[in-house]
Structure 1
Amino acid sequence: MAGMAALPLQQLIASFDKSTLPKILQVCSGVYFQGSVYEISGSEVSFSTGDLIKVINIELLSVSCKDVGNNDVFELPINHTGLFKVVPEEMPYSTLEEMLSLRPVGLDSCLPFTFSIRSKISVGGFTLGAGSVLTVLSVERQPGEEDGVRCHVRGQQDVSAEVCLPISSHGEFRECESEECFTVRDIMSSPCLCSRRFRFVSTTKSQRALVLSPIYQVHAVMNLRKNIFKFPSSLEVDVVDVTEACGDVEFVTPLSLPEVLSQPEECFPAVIEILEAPDTHSMLRCSWLPELSKDSHVIFHKIGTSAMVLLSSSKGRKTQQYFLVSQQYAGRFRRRPREFDSAYELYVASMQSPGLKVSVTRSCEEDEEEGLPGLSVGDLLEVVRCDAVQLARGGRGQNQAVEALLCRRLQEPDDDDEDEEDEEDEQQQDGMEEILLPLFMRGHFVEVIADNKKYKLKDLCKQFSLPLDVKVVSRDAQLEADPLVGFASLRIEGAMSEPTIQASFPNRPDRCFEMPTQWLSMSVSFTRLALPWAGGHTPECRVERVIEVTDTFLYEFRKQGGEDAPPPPRPPKRNLSTSASSSSKKSSKKTSEEGKSRRPDKGAPTEEMASLTVNRRRPAPLAPGILDDQPPPVGPRKPPAAKVTSAKARPNTYVKMDQSKKKEEVAQITADEDSDHDYETLDESFATVVKKANENVCFY
Structure 2
Amino acid sequence: MAGTTALPLQEFIASLDNTCLPKILQVCSGVYFQGSIYEISGSEVSFSTGDLVKVTGIELLSVCCEDISTNEKFELPISHTGLFKVVPDDMPYSTIEEMLSLRPVGLESCLPFTFASHSKMTFENFTLGAGRALTVLSIQRREGKEDQVRCHVQGKEGASAEVCIPLSSRGEFHECESEERFTLREIMSSPCLRSRKFRFINTTKCDQPLILSPVYQVNAIMSLRKNVLKFPSSLEVDVIDVTDVCKDVTFVTPLSLTEVLSQPDESFPAVVEILEGPESRSLFKCNWLPQFNKNENLIFHKKGTSPMILISSLKSRKAQQFFLVSQQYGGRFRRRPREFNSVYELYVALAQAPDLRVTVTTNCEEVEEEGLPGLSVGDQLEVVSCKMVELPCGSSKGQKESIEALFCRRLQELDDDDDDDEEEEEEVNQECEKEEIFLPLYMQGHFVEVITDTKKYRLRDLGKQFKLPLDVKVVSRDTELETDPLVGFPCLRIEGAMLEPTIQASFPNRPDHCFEIPTQWLSLSVCFTKDPLPWPNEQPPMFHLDTVTEVTDTFLYEFRKQGNSDAAPPPRPPKRNLSSSKSLKKTSKKVSSKADKHKHRSDKSVPAKELGDLNLNSKKRPPAPPPPAILDDEPPPVVPRKHLAPEMTTGKAQPNTYVKMEDSKKVSLSDVAADVDSDHDYEIVDDTLAAMMKTAQENVLFY
Q: TM-score range by the shorter chain?
A: 0.5 to 0.7
- 2:97 aligns to what? 96
Asked if the contact 2:110/2:192 (under 8 Å) is kept, the reply is: no
- 1:466 aligns to what? 468
Distance in 1 between residues matched to 2:451 and 2:564, nearest whole Å: 30
Report deviation, 1:504.
2.3
| C-alpha distance 469-204 of structure 1, shift in aligned 2 (>3 A) | closer
- 2:674 aligns to what? none
Distance in 1 between residues matched to 2:447 and 2:588, nearest whole Å: 30
Q: Deviations over 1:587-608 (max 9, x none)?
A: xx9xx999989x9867269xxx
SS of corresponding position for 1:250: coil
- 1:546 aligns to what? 548
| C-alpha distance 450-412 of structure 1, shift in aligned 2 (>3 A) | farther
Distance in 2 between residues matched to 1:546 and 1:159, nearest whole Å: 78
Equivalent residue for 2:581, pick from 575, 590, 608: 575
Asked if the contact 1:371/1:391 (under 8 Å) is kept, the reply is: no
| C-alpha distance 529-233 of structure 1, shift in aligned 2 (>3 A) | same
- 1:431 aligns to what? 432
| C-alpha distance 53-204 of structure 1, shift in aligned 2 (>3 A) | same
Aligned residues: 589
Distance in 1 between residues matched to 2:414 and 2:547, nearest whole Å: 45
Report deviation, 1:96.
1.7
Asked if the contact 2:197/2:211 (under 8 Å) is kept, the reply is: yes
Report deviation, 1:344.
6.2
Report deviation, 1:375.
5.0
Aligned pairs for 1:469-618 (under 5 A) are 469-535=471-537, 541-562=543-564, 566=569, 575-576=581-582, 579=585, 603=626
Matched, 1:243 2:243: yes
- 2:260 aligns to what? 260
Asked if the contact 1:255/1:524 (under 8 Å) is kept, the reply is: yes
| C-alpha distance 107-489 of structure 1, shift in aligned 2 (>3 A) | same
Distance in 2 between residues matched to 1:506 and 1:192, nearest whole Å: 55
The amino acid of 1:559's aligned partner reads K
Asked if the contact 2:106/2:192 (under 8 Å) is kept, the reply is: yes
Matched, 1:37 2:27: no
Report deviation, 1:520.
1.9
- 1:626 aligns to what? none
SS of corresponding position for 1:409: strand
- 1:14 aligns to what? 14
Structure 2 portions without partners, runs of 5+: 590-612, 629-703
SS of corresponding position for 1:284: coil
Matched, 1:179 2:178: yes
| C-alpha distance 416-97 of structure 1, shift in aligned 2 (>3 A) | farther
Asked if the contact 1:96/1:173 (under 8 Å) is kept, the reply is: no
Report deviation, 1:467.
1.6
- 1:662 aligns to what? none
Asked if the contact 2:303/2:503 (under 8 Å) is kept, the reply is: yes
Report deviation, 1:408.
3.4
The amino acid of 2:450's aligned partner reads E
Q: Deviations over 1:488-512 (max 9, x none)?
A: 5432221122222222223444433
Distance in 1 between residues matched to 2:145 and 2:528, nearest whole Å: 56
Distance in 2 between residues matched to 1:391 and 1:332, nearest whole Å: 49
Q: Deviations over 1:185-208 (max 9, x none)?
A: 444334444444444556656654
The range that moved more, 562-571 or 56-65, is 562-571
Distance in 2 between residues matched to 1:96 and 1:569, nearest whole Å: 71
Distance in 1 between residues matched to 2:318 and 2:117, nearest whole Å: 87
Distance in 1 between residues matched to 2:421 and 2:348, nearest whole Å: 39
| C-alpha distance 578-346 of structure 1, shift in aligned 2 (>3 A) | closer
Distance in 2 between residues matched to 1:160 and 1:383, nearest whole Å: 74
Asked if the contact 1:337/1:449 (under 8 Å) is kept, the reply is: no
- 2:669 aligns to what? none
- 1:449 aligns to what? 452
Distance in 2 between residues matched to 1:367 and 1:155, nearest whole Å: 80
Aligned pairs for 1:322-471 (under 5 A) are 322-339=322-339, 346=346, 348-358=348-358, 372-375=374-377, 381-385=381-385, 406-409=408-411, 431-434=432-435, 436=437, 445-450=448-453, 452=455, 454-471=456-473
Matched, 1:221 2:221: yes
Q: Deviations over 1:271-327 (max 9, x none)?
A: 221122234543323332233222111122333332211123455684443321122
Asked if the contact 1:371/1:392 (under 8 Å) is kept, the reply is: no
Report deviation, 1:138.
1.0
Asked if the contact 1:57/1:219 (under 8 Å) is kept, the reply is: yes
The amino acid of 1:462's aligned partner reads K
Distance in 1 between residues matched to 2:58 and 2:43, nearest whole Å: 18
Asked if the contact 2:362/2:445 (under 8 Å) is kept, the reply is: no
Matched, 1:212 2:212: yes
The amino acid of 2:233's aligned partner reads S
Distance in 1 between residues matched to 2:587 and 2:10, nearest whole Å: 86
Asked if the contact 1:7/1:239 (under 8 Å) is kept, the reply is: yes
Distance in 2 between residues matched to 1:9 and 1:500, nearest whole Å: 39
Report deviation, 1:58.
2.4
What TM-score, normalized to structure 1?
Answer: 0.68
Q: Deviations over 1:431-486 (max 9, x none)?
A: 3231648675756645232453x433222212211122234455445444444345
Distance in 2 between residues matched to 1:555 and 1:595, nearest whole Å: 66
Report deviation, 1:20.
2.0
What TM-score, normalized to structure 2?
Answer: 0.68
| C-alpha distance 448-139 of structure 1, shift in aligned 2 (>3 A) | same
Asked if the contact 1:227/1:253 (under 8 Å) is kept, the reply is: no
Distance in 1 between residues matched to 2:238 and 2:64, nearest whole Å: 18
- 1:72 aligns to what? 72
The amino acid of 2:278's aligned partner reads P
The CA RMSD over aligned residues, in Å, is 5.2
- 2:57 aligns to what? 57
Report deviation, 1:152.
5.2
| C-alpha distance 406-126 of structure 1, shift in aligned 2 (>3 A) | closer
Asked if the contact 2:115/2:173 (under 8 Å) is kept, the reply is: no
Asked if the contact 1:366/1:375 (under 8 Å) is kept, the reply is: no
Distance in 2 between residues matched to 1:145 and 1:334, nearest whole Å: 89
Asked if the contact 1:87/1:199 (under 8 Å) is kept, the reply is: no
SS of corresponding position for 2:149: strand
| C-alpha distance 63-552 of structure 1, shift in aligned 2 (>3 A) | closer
Report deviation, 1:581.
12
Distance in 1 between residues matched to 2:543 and 2:449, nearest whole Å: 42
Asked if the contact 2:135/2:153 (under 8 Å) is kept, the reply is: yes
SS of corresponding position for 1:49: coil
The range that moved more, 70-79 or 127-136, is 127-136
User: Higher Cα Rg: structure 1 or 2?
Assistant: 1
The range that moved more, 535-544 or 462-471, is 535-544
SS of corresponding position for 1:12: helix
- 2:112 aligns to what? 111
| C-alpha distance 398-86 of structure 1, shift in aligned 2 (>3 A) | closer
Asked if the contact 2:217/2:232 (under 8 Å) is kept, the reply is: yes
Q: Deviations over 1:604-647 (max 9, x none)?
A: 69xxxxxxxxxxxxxxxxxxxxxxxxxxxxxxxxxxxxxxxxxx
Distance in 2 between residues matched to 1:115 and 1:191, nearest whole Å: 25
| C-alpha distance 21-102 of structure 1, shift in aligned 2 (>3 A) | farther
